[in-house]
C-alpha cells in the first residue's frame, strides 16, 4: 500500500499529487465509484508509473477568478496557479508531488487572491484492484504526521481522475469566505500523462 498527501499549510496538495491532504484529526477518506465506461481492464502499477500533470480541477460552482467575464467550473481555465502541479510515480513505489494553493485573503485589504506554489512532498504509492474498483493507495508524511489515503480512480488511456472531500478541497482552494468564491468546492482532480 502506498500513501497520500496531507496539506495543512497554505499549499495544495494532492497529493496529490498531490492527491489530497488531511489534518491529523481528519480520518475520512473520500471514495468514488469507478466510471465503468472508462474502465476496461484493471490498473497495474506499471499503468501509473511515470510523470503526470494536473489537467483539470472541477468545482461545483462556476467562477471568474481572472475577471474576464467568462465563468468556468474548471479552475485551471481561471488561473495558472496550478500549472506546475503534478505527481511522479516511480517503479520502486516512491512518489513525488508538486502542489499549489489559492490564498483568497491576500493583498492590503485581504480581498485579493494569490497563488502559493512550489511545495514538494514525497511518499509511497501502490494500486489495488478490489471487486473491479481500481484504487490508488498513497502514504505521505506531512508536518510529521503520516496518512494513508485510498482513491477510486476513473481513467482513460492517458488520464486518471478521482474525487476529493470538502476538507481536501479547502487544501487547494484556501479560505474564500467573504469572497465571490466562498461557495466553491473542488470536486475532482484529473491528471494527464507527461511521460
| Per-residue cell: 122 | 514525497
- 45 SS3 class: helix
User: Using one digit for the tens of pLDDT, what is the confidence trace for 42-56?
Assistant: 788 899 999 999 999
Give the CA angle between residues 186, 190, 192 to the nearest 5°: 155
Rg for the chain, CA atoms, rounded = 16
pLDDT tens for 132-143 read 888 999 998 877
DSSP character for 28?
A: -
pTM of the model: 0.71
In the DSSP assignment, the letter for residue 46 is H
Of 103, 106, 195, nearest to 158 by C-alpha is 195
Q: How many residues does the chain have?
A: 195
pLDDT at 174: 59
Domain 15-193: CATH class, spelled out: mainly beta
Amino acid at each position: 500500500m502506498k500513501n497520500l498527501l496531507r496539506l495543512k499549510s497554505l499549499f495544495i496538495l494532492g497529493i496529490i499529487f498531490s492527491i489530497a491532504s488531511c489534518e491529523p484529526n481528519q480520518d475520512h477518506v473520500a471514495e468514488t465509484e469507478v466510471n465503468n465506461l472508462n474502465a476496461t481492464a484493471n490498473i497495474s502499477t506499471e499503468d501509473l508509473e511515470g510523470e503526470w500533470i494536473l489537467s483539470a480541477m472541477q468545482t461545483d460552482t462556476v467562477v471568474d477568478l481572472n475577471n474576464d467575464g467568462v465563468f468556468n467550473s474548471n479552475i485551471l481555465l481561471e488561473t495558472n496557479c496550478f500549472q506546475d502541479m503534478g505527481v511522479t510515480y516511480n517503479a520502486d513505489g516512491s512518489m513525488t508531488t508538486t502542489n499549489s494553493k489559492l490564498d483568497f485573503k491576500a493583498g492590503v485589504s485581504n480581498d485579493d487572491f494569490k497563488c502559493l506554489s512550489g511545495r514538494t512532498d514525497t511518499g509511497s504509492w501502490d494500486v489495488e484492484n478490489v471487486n473491479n474498483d481500481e484504487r490508488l493507495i498513497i502514504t505521505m508524511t506531512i508536518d510529521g504526521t503520516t496518512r494513508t489515503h485510498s482513491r477510486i480512480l476513473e481513467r482513460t488511456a492517458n488520464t486518471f481522475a478521482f474525487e476529493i472531500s470538502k476538507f481536501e478541497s479547502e487544501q487547494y482552494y484556501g479560505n474564500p469566505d467573504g469572497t465571490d468564491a466562498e461557495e466553491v468546492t473542488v470536486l475532482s482532480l484529473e491528471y494527464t500523462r507527461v511521460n
